[in-house]
Amino acid sequence: MTTLAGKSVLLIIGGGIAAYKTHELVRLMKTRGAAVRIILSKAAEQFVTPLSLASLSGEKVYTSLFSLTDEVEMGHIQLSRAADLLVVAPATADLMAKMAHGLADDLASTALLATDKRVLVAPAMNVRMWRHPATIRNVETLKLDGVAVVGPNDGEMACGEFGPGRMAEPNEILAAIIDMLKPRAQPLAGKKVVITAGPTREPIDPVRFISNHSSGKQGYAIARAAADLGAEAILVSGPVSLPLPPGVQVMPVETAQEMLEMCEGEMPADIAIFTAAVADWRVAAESHEKLKKTGSGPPSLTLIENPDILATISRSAKRPRIVVGFAAETERVTEHAAQKLKNKGCDLIVANDVSRDSGVFGGDRNTVHLVSAAGVEDWPPLSKDDVAQKLMERLAQMLVPQQKAAE
The answer to whether residues 192 and 232 touch, using CB atoms and an 8 Å cutoff, is yes
Residue 338 binds ligand PMT, judged by CB under 6 A: no
Give the DSSP H or E segment for 88.
strand 85-91
Which of 159, 207, 244, 303 is catalytic? The answer is 159
Query: From the CB of 217, what's the least distance to ligand PMT, in Å?
Result: 4
Q: Which residues contact 100 (CB under 8 A, 6 or more apart)?
A: 137, 138, 139, 141, 142, 145
The answer to whether residues 167 and 252 touch, using CB atoms and an 8 Å cutoff, is no
Could you say which residues in the range 177-206 bind ligand PMT, by CB under 6 A?
196
Say how many CA atoms lie within 13 Å of 104 toward its Cβ: 11
| Distance from chain centroid for Cα 7 | 23
Rounded Cα gap, residues 163 and 170, in angstroms: 19
Q: Which of 47, 62, 209, 326 binds ligand PMT (CB under 6 A)?
A: 326
Binding mask 353-392 for ligand PMT (x = CB under 6 A): -x-----xxx------------------------------
Query: From the CB of 364, what's the least distance to ligand PMT, in Å?
Result: 9
Query: From the CB of 215, what's the least distance to ligand PMT, in Å?
Result: 4
Total number of residues binding ligand PMT (CB under 6 A)?
27
Q: Contact region for ligand PMT (CB under 6 A) — 33-41, 91-99, 133-141, 324-332?
A: 324-332
Q: 3-class DSSP state for residue 121?
A: strand
Query: From the CB of 211, what's the least distance to ligand PMT, in Å?
Result: 12
| Residue with Cβ nearer ligand PMT (47 or 274) | 274
Q: Which of 44, 310, 338, 371 binds ligand PMT (CB under 6 A)?
A: 310
Rounded Cα gap, residues 137 and 184, in angstroms: 30
| Residue with Cβ nearer ligand PMT (33 or 362) | 362
Q: Which of 106, 308, 353, 385 binds ligand PMT (CB under 6 A)?
A: 308
Checking DSSP bridges between strand 192-197 and strand 232-237, what pairing results, if any? parallel
Number of helices and strands (H, E) in the chain? 14, 22
Q: 3-class DSSP state for residue 261?
A: helix
Nearest of 65, 63, 89 to residue 76 by alpha carbon: 65
**Whether the bond into 152 is cis, omega within 30 of 0:** yes
Residue 334 binds ligand PMT, judged by CB under 6 A: no
Residue 278 binds ligand PMT, judged by CB under 6 A: yes
Rg (CA), the chain: 25
* DSSP β-bridge partners for residue 256: none
Q: Contact region for ligand PMT (CB under 6 A) — 89-97, 148-156, 271-279, 314-322?
A: 271-279
Residue 323 binds ligand PMT, judged by CB under 6 A: no
| Residue with Cβ nearer ligand PMT (102 or 362) | 362
Q: Is 346 annotated as catalytic?
A: no
Rounded Cα gap, residues 116 and 394, in angstroms: 28
Residue 256 binds ligand PMT, judged by CB under 6 A: yes
Q: Which of 106, 325, 333, 392 binds ligand PMT (CB under 6 A)?
A: 325
Q: Contact region for ligand PMT (CB under 6 A) — 3-11, 77-85, 246-254, 274-282?
A: 274-282
Q: Which of 275, 314, 334, 389 binds ligand PMT (CB under 6 A)?
A: 275
Rounded Cα gap, residues 322 and 273, in angstroms: 8
> What type of residue sits at position 313?
I
Q: Where does this chain bind ligand PMT (CB under 6 A)?
A: 196, 214-218, 256, 274-278, 280, 306, 308-310, 325-328, 340, 352, 354, 360-362
Active site residues: 159
